[in-house]
Amino acid sequence: MADMTIYTTRRSVDSDRAKRFLDDEGIFYDEVDIEKSPAAAIRVKSANGGRPVVPTFEIGGQMFSLEPFDLKKLMRELEKRGVYE
């Protein structure tokens, strides 16, 4: 079981970029497509002021998103949460 969940859609270029980075760094995660899971879509919208922002990340029960997506900001967020060094 991964310590991180990434909420995505299959048409999101930013989701693909984030997953590629995580895969390249060997960071394990669970992926949830919010188009296939109404409960996940509600969760993501709740975390993002009613908007379905993807990718949205959940680590240790805390959720964050990066809009617009920025790899350096993602790295800082992961470092802050002890997932990336």
Residue ranges of domains in the chain, CATH in brackets: 4-80 (3.40.30.10)
% of residues, the chain, pLDDT over 70: 98
Q: pLDDT grade, residue 2 (50/70/90)? A: low
- Residue from 85, 83, 29 nearest 56 by CA: 29
Cis peptide before 68 (omega within 30 of 0): yes
- Residue from 64, 61, 52 nearest 18 by CA: 64
pLDDT tens digit sequence for 41-63: 999 999 999 999 999 999 999 99
CA–CA gap between residue 52 and residue 56 (Å, rounded): 9
pTM attached to this predicted model:
0.93
18, HSE (Cβ side, Cα atoms, 13 Å): 30
State the average pLDDT over residues 13-36. 96
